[in-house]
Amino acid sequence: MPPHKINLVEAADAKIKKVFDPHIAGDVNDSQVKIAKFGDVFDWHAHDNEDEAFLVLRGRIAIDFRDGTVELGSGEFIVVPRAVEHRPRSLSEQPVVLMFEPATTLNTGNAKSDLTVAELKRL
């Protein structure tokens, strides 16, 4: 049986009910493709040992850094290098964002809070 395809935006709309609740869309070697809807503001955090990639599929987001902010719209992509403190936030209502990172990456990195999701659901 061949692999199945998935429309990530449709899957996010159907299955993701809360903002900042990442879901696994697929596994690629030791990494995962994750998808989430973003909300008003996330926690400041860093990933000490992992880079983190963001691709906006729908809407607009900002990623705040201690020395400035990068705004991203649909189709735009950024890699946040390991150990760089950052804080994602939405600029439109519930944007849909794809993240690519090692499977062991915790969404809040080195900061534990009510937004930490240790057990991710799959789409």
What CATH number was assigned to the domain covering residues 8-122? Answer: 2.60.120.10
Radius of gyration of the chain measured on its C-alpha atoms: 14
Q: What pLDDT does 109 receive?
A: 80
pLDDT tens digits for range 45-96: 999 999 999 999 999 999 999 999 999 999 999 999 999 999 999 999 999 9
Instruction: Please say if the pLDDT value at position 97 is more than 90.
Output: yes
Q: What is the pLDDT of residue 106?
A: 80
Host H or E run for residue 15: helix 8-15
Strands (E), 17-107: 23-28, 31-37, 52-58, 60-65, 68-73, 77-80, 86-90, 96-102
Mean pLDDT, the chain, rounded, equals: 94
Whole-number pLDDT of residue 113: 81
Each domain of the chain, given as residue ranges in start order, spans 8-122
Say what the pLDDT of residue 107 is. Answer: 87
Closest by alpha carbon to 78, among 94, 95, 61, 96?
61
